[in-house]
Amino acid sequence: MHSEHSQQSQGQRSFIIIAALLGWSALAIQLYLIFFARWADQASLLGGLVRFFSFFTILTNTLVAIALTCAVVSRSDGVHRFFRTPWVCSGIAASIVLVGLAYNVLLRHLWQPQGWQWIADELLHDIMPLLFLVYWWLYVQKGGLRLSHVLLWGIYPLVYFAYVLLRGDLIGDYMYPFIDVGTLGYAKAFINAGGVLAGFFMISLVLVGLDRVKGQDRKSVV
């Protein structure tokens, strides 16, 4: 398995450590920026923390940072084994690729962040998706994914959209403009959410296909 530390080369280990540090740094910067803005507005910091973890970008980047950390930490408890499992890493890869594509296609043109916010945005939406995809391609064991895994991975974005739509309906704060029911109406918001989910399943199918191709190549070499 890709997570066996004794089999990790120095280059592999260095890459994963750097990627993990960048992931945690991006999350820390974004959390600081949210807390600072809430403090300046004399708003609840706890409310800011809840909102922070209500973004799909933040949740998924947290999973990415955890998976990368578990890949280099020499522990064998249930949590570490879970995040080292190829089908789990592959599901996280599908989600973080969705983060990058959705941001660049749907959201990037809506604002121009500056300073530390720009750094956090680039790390969370561009650099970490690319780094984790490289990690998945190079270091995660291939050949074991099935179509059933795609359905299992789909639970995550489905539950997320159910949560943010319910949250938005209750407090009027929708996390992303393309699902803002107050502005778009229910029909358009649900169509947009369905389009994003369709994109997620397409990404997942591509990853399963790549997994099978690389898995076959590995078997032919052996």
Structure tokens at 56: 């799909």
The pLDDT of residue 75 is 80
What's the pLDDT band for 215 if we cut at 50, 70, 90? confident
Give Dmax (Cα) for the chain: 62
CB 2 within 8 A of CB 84: yes
Phi, psi of 183 (to 5 degrees): -95, -40
pLDDT score, position 9: 86
Q: What is the pLDDT of residue 34?
A: 96
pLDDT-based confidence at 3, cuts 50/70/90?
Answer: very low
Percentage of the chain lying above the pLDDT 90 cut: 89
Burial of 97 (0-12, 13-18, 19+ CB in 10 A): buried
Integer Cα distance of 220 and 222 in angstroms: 5
CA separation for the pair 121, 116 (Å, rounded)? 8
Give the Cα separation of 29 and 117 in Å (integer): 8
Cα–Cα distance measured from residue 112 to residue 80, given in angstroms and rounded to the nearest whole number: 38
pLDDT of residue 133: 98
